[in-house]
Structure 1
Amino acid sequence: MYKKWLALMLLLPFRFLFAQDHTLSEFPKGYTPQEVGKLIAYRFEEAKHALHAGKWISYPETFYWNGALKFAALTEDKAFVKILQNKFEPLFTTEKALLPIKNHVDLNMFGSLPLTLYQITGEKRYYDLGMPYADTQWEVPADAKPEEKEWAKKGYTWQTRLWIDDMYMITIVQTQAYKVTGDLKYIDRAAKEMVLYLDELQRPNGLFYHAPDVPFYWLRGNGWMAAGVTELLRYLPENHKDRPRIMKGYHTMMKSLKKYQTASGMWNQLIDEPDSWAETSGSAMFAYAFITGVKQGWLDAKEYAPAARKAWMALVSYVNEKGAVSEVCVGTNKKNDKQYYYDRPRRTGDYHGQAPYLWCVNALLEK
């Protein structure tokens, strides 16, 4: 008996060593990424366009579309991929006027969508449509403003404006261009820009002002950064000269986000204000950064996997039976007025919220 007990004790450490952590892989019914993802992604099939300035496909719609496509690809749902392709088809013909022009950070990001379609389908027409959005972000137009030309002289995009939102808008199209071309200039651009924004906007507590002249820790603004730096680190070569600086900024932010996560698992519209309301889009962006960080080995799993799971479980409770996410802050320009952020309207089904939920879904599904 003693020998059997001793053998068992000697074996236990190895069993624990190789035991699989199910914190981010096993969820109760109704909370699995497959169920939630299908509910939200399939809602996009019948969704109407959400236009920027009433003219062009907007960034919230672009990212919702992107998230749905990646979900379809990850789940090998070829029928749904085809549905999403068919939805895009009019942009080559009858809806061509809805293609965003290439003169603003919130418009050039559209290129990430056709580049995603190219990666999934291999059809070169998507490549040809998407790449000019990445290229023109660094091609200074003749009518550029003096400050835009100054940014370009320093090697940054002329679309630089130091709004924290930019760090997803710029990063997403440049990283996608790098993925489809293998050309380091695209990832170099994104990295250089990221270092600038980290240096200019990240505060000692790890969080970010909305802009240099707007000293408030707006949730979704910080969410754009959290998602953007996460996306960049996924593809930035390990030996890239800017990786240590960017990883430091990421770790500093993640540590702060863990501190400010509320007991419910969410984060507030103004992150450091306990009396502010829990907002879903930014909370989902933070959850995405946690999930990816744990899976990539950038974050300690024992510390961050439970926080990521807690966030996901809380987030799912805001999704209704039709796949619409509630408590989403509407589109928000910067304003040096704290009450402005408290008073922003909240919507259900706003694309600002639908997309980040799919980022979480896809991160949970990825191996």
Structure 2
Amino acid sequence: MNFINNKIKVYAVAILGSGMFLACAQTKSVASKPSTENSKSGKVVPTNLKWSERMMLSEMQRFPEAWMLDFSKSPKWTYPSAIVLDGAEKIYEKTGKKEYYNYISDFGKTMIKEDGTILTYDLDKYNIDMLNSGNVLLYLYEKEKKDKYLKALQTLRLQIDGQPRTNEGSFWHKKIYPNQVWLDGLYMGMPFYTHYTKDFTKGADATKAYDDIVMQFDSVQKNLLDKKTGLLYHAWDESKKEAWANKETGLSPNFWGRAMGWYGMAMVDVLDYLPENHPGRARIISYIKSYSDAVIKYQDKKSGLWYQVLDKPLANGNYEEATASAMFVYTMIKSVNKGYLPKSYKTAAKKGYDGIIKNLITVDENGVVNLNKCCAVAGLGGKPYRDGSYEYYVNEEIRSNDGKGTGPFILASLEFEK
């Protein structure tokens, strides 16, 4: 009983530290069974495990339920949980430890009602961010074959059919952001769209879907790429009417690190499901190569990390940012492991990974691992208005243990551990 009481205290402290409400401390933990190592060493997270597992266990300590991973105070359908749970799936496949599977499964149990309704999700908003957690449901349906997951997946797939598009066919980021294509949206929507197509769509419909997916990347390369630097702008407004948009090009003013990070992960994850014989594969692989070349050019020579605004490392207020750094490392090391990039690119990926561990990771006395200097959120437009200026990006909130950084760090760690 003593141990259980101590456990609850640890959760309560962790949750209060995240600015979350105390009631969460009473939520059942899926990681409640201690390993013998834990008991012997007095560590909540054993230090003799690989970084992937250490970070995953740390996330489960901080956020006993996976819906909390976005610092949510109540269950909410959002995207960061899915990135961390992608890591949990892979760690479960690697270790067979049931606590990881339970963590994923409990997310599905909580977020999807028996009739297939998705908690807090509103299809009519046509927000592409909302497709990302569909990846968790694809995994759970494959494992558990529950009808409610299939119904929820079909609802998300309906969103793709109705998602507003530019004249060329690129998805708008959200219905409330007309004519706007954001780099973020490629990661939020395309891996889900491709995986769903692979699992459920056949014949001519599948071919049409795969062509549509590849076109999204072709369109971004055409409209958001800066030929001088090789970097891609955060967003593009086809109408050129938005206050943040350049009146001639429609482009947003800056190269935001995480936007580029999302785009890299989108490309490398889509290739997991795009058929080997699809003519678009070679193009996406060529985009990964030019993307990685550009990213390496802006890697800090000393630390191996990347800045919040990529091309202005010396500007006042800029900082080495954790989420983008983890995403770039993941994109490159996975691309090397898959054969999309030559082995020589592993050097830059490893330098970035070592830089994260040396400069951005701290470990508490109880073994819990933290990832620091994560940009909490950044976007464009909305209220209050986000103008995409340099000052805007460097003044957004910075926090530790954001799923948009811990998730890619887990995934990158797994690639290095292969």
Structure showing the higher helix proportion among its residues? 1
Cα distance, 1:285 vs. partner? Answer: 0.5
> 1:348 aligned to 2:348?
no
Q: Percent identity?
A: 24
Corresponding residue number in structure 2 for 1:206: 230
Shift of 1:234: 3.0
Q: Are the equivalent residues in 1 in contact too, given 2:112–2:148 (CA < 8 A)? A: no
Give the distance between the partners of 1:155 and 1:54, measured in 2 at CA.
Answer: 36
Structure 2 partner of 1:289: 331
Deviation per CA, 1:126-165: give whole Å up to 9, x if none.
233223213321235xxxxxxx3654xx554465731111
Distance 1:71 1:186, change over 3 A: farther
- Comparing 265-274 with 355-364, which one deviates more in the overlay? 355-364
Query: Which letter does structure 2 place at the counterpart of 1:241?
Result: P
* Residue 260, structure 1, aligned to residue 283, structure 2: no
Partner of 1:135: 158
**Pairing 1:326–2:326 present:** no
Partner of 2:119: 98
Q: For residues 89 and 162 of structure 2, what CA distance do their matches in structure 1 show?
A: 29
Change (3 A) 1:314 1:59: same
The one-letter code matched in structure 1 to 2:308 is Q
Q: Which amino acid aligns with 2:415?
A: A
The 3-state SS of whatever aligns with 2:122 is: coil
Tell which deviates more after alignment, 253-262 or 43-52: 43-52
Please give the alpha-carbon distance, in whole angstroms, between the structure 2 residues aligned to 1:254 and 1:150.
27
Task: After TM superposition, give the deviation of residue 343 of structure 1 in Å.
Answer: 1.8
Pick one of 245, 266, 279 that aligns with 1:241: 279
Q: Aligned residue for 1:143?
A: none
Partner Cα distance (2:293, 2:411) in 1? 21
**Are the aligned partners of 2:186 and 2:262 in contact in 1 as well (CA < 8 Å)?**
yes
2:81 to 61, 66, 70: 61
Q: Report deviation, 1:221.
A: 0.5
The answer to whether the 8 A contact 1:57-1:100 is kept is yes
Select which of 259, 262, 276 maps to 1:224: 262
The reply to whether residue 113 of structure 1 matches residue 136 of structure 2 is yes
> Counterparts of 1:307 and 1:194 in 2: how far apart (Å)?
24
Q: Structure 1's 74 and 277: CA in aligned 2 closer, same or farther, altered over 3 A?
A: same
Q: Which residue of 2 aligns with 1:167?
A: 186
2:304 maps to a residue whose letter is: G
| CA deviation after TM superposition for structure 1 residue 181, in Å | 2.4
2: CA distance, partners of 1:126 / 1:83: 16
Please tell me the residue identity of whatever aligns with 1:323.
V
What secondary structure sits across from 1:166 in the alignment? helix
Structure 1 stretch displaced more, 217-226 or 104-113: 104-113
Moved more, 275-284 or 353-362: 353-362
2-structure distance, mates of 1:310, 1:230: 20
Structure 2: segments with no counterpart, 5+ residues: 1-46, 174-178, 237-244, 246-251, 381-386
Is 1:311 the counterpart of 2:352 in the alignment? yes
Q: Structure 1 residues 358, 289: CA separation in 2 closer, same or farther (over 3 Å shift)?
A: same
Q: Could you give the per-residue CA deviations for residues 310-335 of structure 1, whole angstroms, max 9, x where no partner exists?
A: 21122224233323321000111122
Counterpart pick for 1:279 among 321, 324, 328: 321
Shifted more, 184-193 versus 210-219: the winner is 184-193
Amino acid at match of 1:304: Y
Contact 1:56 1:98 in 2 (8 A): yes
Task: Please report the TM-score for the alignment, with normalisation by the length of structure 2.
Answer: 0.70
Which letter maps to 1:83? Y
Once superposed, what is the RMSD of the aligned Cα atoms? 2.9
Change in Cα spacing, 1:157 to 1:219, as seen in structure 2 (3 Å) is closer
CA distance in 2, matches of 1:52, 1:40: 14
Cα distance in 1, alignment partners of residues 375 and 403 from structure 2: 10
Structure-1-length-normalised TM-score: 0.79
Structure 2 counterpart of 1:309, which letter? K
Indicate the larger mover: 109-118 or 49-58: 49-58
